[in-house]
Chain A
Amino acid sequence: MKRIQIITGHYGSGKTEYAVNLALHLAETTENVALADLDIVNPYFRSYEQAKRMEDAGIRVIVTSCGGVADIPAINPEVMSIFQQEKWTGVLDVGGDPIGARVLARFAHMLKAGEYDLLFVLNANRPETKDVDSALQYMQAIEAESRLKVTGIVNNTHLCRETTPEEILKGAGLAQQLSERTGLPVVHHGVQRKFVDDVKDKITGEILPMNIYMKKPWEIEFYEEE
């Protein structure tokens, strides 16, 4: 895995959930993990909401200006340290859609080939990325806006609380089709921990067991066990 993991995708694909889980997963075995919130389009359900959890795990969390809650979030200049100091293992949580990925163009010239992965997070239950043609169109639009090439696909198919193992397998199928079409690897299947046993023998490729951290206000006291 490369030193810098850049997480992109369509709104609602679960980029932030994946980014937070990935950072916590990396922090189990790696020192100097940093998560940077580069989302300048989405006002709610943002990675800074999990800052304390990540900081408790030793992760450096870099949020957008004004603690991340401003109407016009601006990129925190501290983000530069991830690009400039090789000691950091960075996870960049980028805003949704091509428009959210545009922020990456500013850093494109600083990213050395071979030093980063640009991951396209895919949710087969989102209406605008539910088949291989529309997913590919989104991926290419993200590449155009970010001036970077996607290096891997993440199957993160879910239906929030209504997710079933069948949904995850459906997403694995779509990710596989996209992989065959583009020649890009499926680097992870983001699978909610309780479904890992149900799908592990039916999926090829690495599973990232996921906890659900991004909760709606009425879910907070009921799903701590996940």
Chain B
Amino acid sequence: MEKELWKGNEAVAEAAIRAGCKYFFGYPITPQNEIPEYLSYHLPKIGGCFLQAESEVAAINMIYGAAGCGVRVMTSSSSPGISLKQEGITYMCGAELPAVIVNMMRGGPGLGTIQPAQGDYFQATRGGGNGDYRHLVYAPATIQEAADYVQMAFDVADLYRNPVMVVADGMIGQMMEAIEWREMPKRELPEKTWATTGTKGERKPNVINSLYIDPNLCAEHNERLAAKYKAMEENETRWEEVNTENCEVLFVAYGTPSRITKAAIKLLEKEGIKAGLFRPITLWPYPSKQLKAAASQESVKAVVDFELSMGQMIDDVKIALEGCRPVTFVGKAGGVVPTPAEVAAAAKAAIGR
């Protein structure tokens, strides 16, 4: 198919439509505004509904309601707005409701800045809501991946009856790249027999709820959820490796930093240093085993974690490595993006060059 030039946010919105999403509820915030803007224009054309809610809290609860009716639904926001949605996300995990939540991350904490950042890693992978819940987190690094993974996210959400989050730094929302629209591999999805679609007097009402009065039943519910999360870990973990074989320095980065790292690898190559990139595509489940395998190669002298934060994913890197290699950090928070040269310099420092 012929390539077109898409802005990241528009591609996310169009991908949702192509995945069969007809409903969007959200509240404006930079740098993700083109997602609601696009959907406000295009959803009515396909008989869907776009609604600008009175707040992010209202929006996530509208998502809860629509997902409960068994339809495909999405919300999007940027960092502070995603903070407001945390309660709704744990309720959706508890009530086992599929939906897609997009976070185009900006600098924090608090209102922070509108420039790109990755300071919501902890929030996305550990959750800001209460209780033992998990959800998949996709981290696209290109507009093509953003288009692909948003489409895939709807299927995965339906398959596991669980919300799926797509996170990207604002750069990926705002930049333009050439992409082509391609069909995602089809998955066999269960029928939504649990949805509240009306009994027509033929069955007992379906109830969608996260409340369990009896602690034994709540404990059982948690066991069942845990088994589901385990299945996600086994089947849905994704990552990319670039130039990792026999590398001397192993970078770990996702999103925009992974693109900068690829440029830094070329700079290091000119100086005779072989560097590789390990890029998690799912931030949860984290590709721990695969990362440890790459890092424990004899050639690897140092692992350099690069994030647009003050160091959050680095915790998962250290958990994965179990102390097998030293880990150093390079990165900036608050909307400033390091250059390939700065990242290359961090790698040289890590190996004492």
Contact = CB atoms under 8 A, between A and B. Distances in A.
Interface of A: 11-12, 42-45, 69, 71, 123, 125-127, 130, 158-162, 216-222
A48 B175 CA distance: 16
Contacts of B176: 12, 160
Interface in B27-46: 30-31, 34
Nearest 3 Cβ contacts at the A-B interface: A44-B174, A159-B178, A218-B263
Contact of B174 (A45, A125, A221): A45
B31 A44 contact: yes
B30 A43 contact: yes
Contacts of B114: 43, 69, 71
A160 B34 contact: no
Contacts of A161: 178
Contact of B175 (A44, A123, A222): A44
B168 interface: no
B7 A11 contact: yes
Contacts of A71: 30, 114
A211 B176 CA distance: 17
Interface stretch (B222-230, B320-328, B337-345): B337-345
Interface of B: 3-7, 10, 14, 30-31, 34, 113-116, 170-171, 174-178, 256, 259-260, 262-263, 266-267, 337, 339-341
Given A160-B177, A222-B263, A126 B256 contact: no
Most central of B5, B14, B266 by chain A CB within 10 Å: B5
A140 B4 CA distance: 23
B5 A158 contact: yes
Given A43-B114, A44-B174, A217-B339, A160 B5 contact: yes
Given A11-B7, A44-B31, A71-B30, A221 B178 contact: no
A216 B259 CA distance: 10
Contacts of A127: 4-6, 14
A28 to B, nearest CB: 28
A140 B318 CA distance: 56
Given A45-B175, A218-B260, A222-B263, A69 B115 contact: yes
B170 A44 contact: yes
8 contacts: A12-B5, A44-B116, A125-B5, A126-B4, A127-B5, A217-B171, A221-B341, A222-B340
A218 B340 CA distance: 6
A162 B259 CA distance: 16
B171 A216 contact: yes
A220 B4 contact: no
Contacts of A158: 5
A221 B178 CA distance: 21
A221 B3 contact: no
A218 B171 CA distance: 11
A217 B260 contact: yes
A2 B312 CA distance: 54
Contacts of B171: 44, 216-217
Nearest to B34: A11
Contact of B3 (A12, A125, A216, A219): A125
B256 A217 contact: yes
A160 B10 CA distance: 16
B267 A221 contact: yes
A42 B170 CA distance: 12
Nearest to A71: B114
Contact of B339 (A45, A69, A220): A220
Contacts of A43: 30-31, 114-115, 170, 174
A217 B337 contact: yes
A173 to B, nearest CB: 14
Most central of B4, B34, B113, B266 by chain A CB within 10 Å: B4
Contacts of A219: 263
B11 to A, nearest CB: 10
Contact of A162 (B3, B31, B175, B260): B3
A218 B259 contact: yes
A101 B263 CA distance: 36
A1 B38 CA distance: 36
